[in-house]
Chain A
Amino acid sequence: MAATSLFKRALQWLVGLVGGLLATGAAKAIDLPEDRAEAMVHLYDGGGVKASGPALLVRKSLVDRVSVSASYYLDMVSNASIDVVTTASPYKENRSEYGLGLDYAYRDSLITLSTAFSREPDYTADSVSLDMSQEVFGGMSTIALGFTRGADKVGKHGTPGYFDSVKHWQYRLGLTQVLTPRWIASANFEALSDDGYLGSPYRVARVFGAAVPERNPRTRSARAIKFRVNGDIGNRSAVHAEYRYFWDTWAIKAHTTEFGYSRYFGDPWIGDVFLRIYQQKHALFYSDNAETETLYVSRNRQLSTFNNVSLGAKLSYRVAQVPGKYEVKANGAYEMVNFRHSDFTDIRTGAPYRYTAHVVQLYMSATF
């Protein structure tokens, strides 16, 4: 008798659970990304490299469930970096990138297909991405899955055509969770694989003080995991904190930490400040000046041990607004980055290489 009662209670509990699940699954449909346009002028200036240019983006929904986007980005690069001035001659070149995207909303899911094409005189990079995000648990959680497949062609100035290629695979998984009416958090994981020519035909390594062409492995697998939390702290202000850990098969380990604060100043102004700290440990085959002969050797400072600290600020001003119709904003952002290399020597001075970079973005954004 007691067993029958227990069975009935268990059955009722189970029916309740399934009912709850079905009720949760019937939440309202996901929204498409809002229609918007962005026009930006960007500048990077640091370590002898200047890269600047315009960028444009337009996104428009065509029917209730479909939104398309197109973007253009130009980098006009003037390169007199430490690698270039110590082993080659400064040069100028342009890189253009075109992007196309298609979003499809179905019930609580958003499916995004996007593609990007990047062109510069000695390098091309094409990629296709498929992303899907699904709202669950009454819209409190969003699960995101994504995949990118990239294919690059590598050339060299003075040599016609391309001499090698690279393939890329990226797999993403993300969870965004509403914690309270004021706090939201996210966790993102990404697995990355590269296969092909993963170096530069211009860069040299140093072995026993002599310059030799760098030799890199042809495969690399990496993992990255990031946690972020955003919180509304009242007085129309918010804070965010994030941490990312990255590790790969070249023995690189990197930690990225960021803290930020945002607030309204009156109604039309929004100000943001952030502090970002990045640290990484060098690749297994990286050497400033190798003292032994090894299969792989590189003096790519991107693979060295270094840290950088960024301090950034952004200001947005609402220029015009008709509620429910459109909103236009003017924005300016500035970031100062201090790079401090531990095991990459400036061979002109013999001291560890250090420099400060400036990143500027001026842009208009409109939603309609």
Chain B
Amino acid sequence: MCERVSRLLVAALAMSTLLLSGCAIQPWVKPYERERLADPIMRFSRDTLPDKHREHVRDVREAARGATGVQGSGCGCN
């Protein structure tokens, strides 16, 4: 039992170290360098209605659906 708790603690410590190491990386693309990413031709979705229509056309004819990112996903380039 004790051994299992120690293993869990070691694993938690290792995970925390990894996560904190990740935070040490600074954003390498500054906001003023994101002009090209904000251009309309770089957007994942430019217009709402045509994307929803195209998704509907596919949903009713193909078995696969989901994970399209049409709803909810952001761009990160504001």
Contacts and interface: CB of A to CB of B under 8 A. Distances in A.
B63 A112 contact: no
A57 interface: yes
Interface stretch (A159-167, A185-193, A201-209, A342-350): A185-193
Contacts of A264: 41
Interface in A233-282: 236-238, 244, 246, 248, 250, 252, 254, 256, 262-264, 270, 272, 278, 280
A302 B61 contact: yes
A297 to B, nearest CB: 16
Contacts of B37: 178, 181-182, 184, 232
Interface in A16-43: 16-17, 20-21, 24, 28, 30-31, 36, 38, 40, 42
B67 A226 contact: yes
Nearest to A14: B20
A361 B42 contact: no
A20 B63 contact: no
Contact of A42 (B53, B65, B72): B53
B68 interface: yes
Interface stretch (A83-91, A127-135, A150-158, A288-296): A127-135
Interface string B29-60: 11101111101111110011110111001101
A12 to B, nearest CB: 12
Given A24-B27, A176-B44, A232-B42, 10 more contacts: A38-B49, A133-B73, A138-B26, A172-B66, A178-B37, A180-B29, A184-B75, A184-B77, A238-B39, A361-B50
Interface of A: 14, 16-17, 20-21, 24, 28, 30-31, 36, 38, 40, 42, 44, 55-57, 59, 71, 73, 110, 112, 114, 129, 131-133, 135, 137-142, 144-146, 148, 170, 172, 174, 176-182, 184, 186, 188-190, 192, 222-226, 228, 230, 232, 236-238, 244, 246, 248, 250, 252, 254, 256, 262-264, 270, 272, 278, 280, 283, 302-303, 308, 331, 333, 335, 339, 359, 361, 363, 365
Interface of B: 20-21, 23-24, 26-31, 33-37, 39-44, 47-50, 52-54, 57-58, 60-69, 71-78
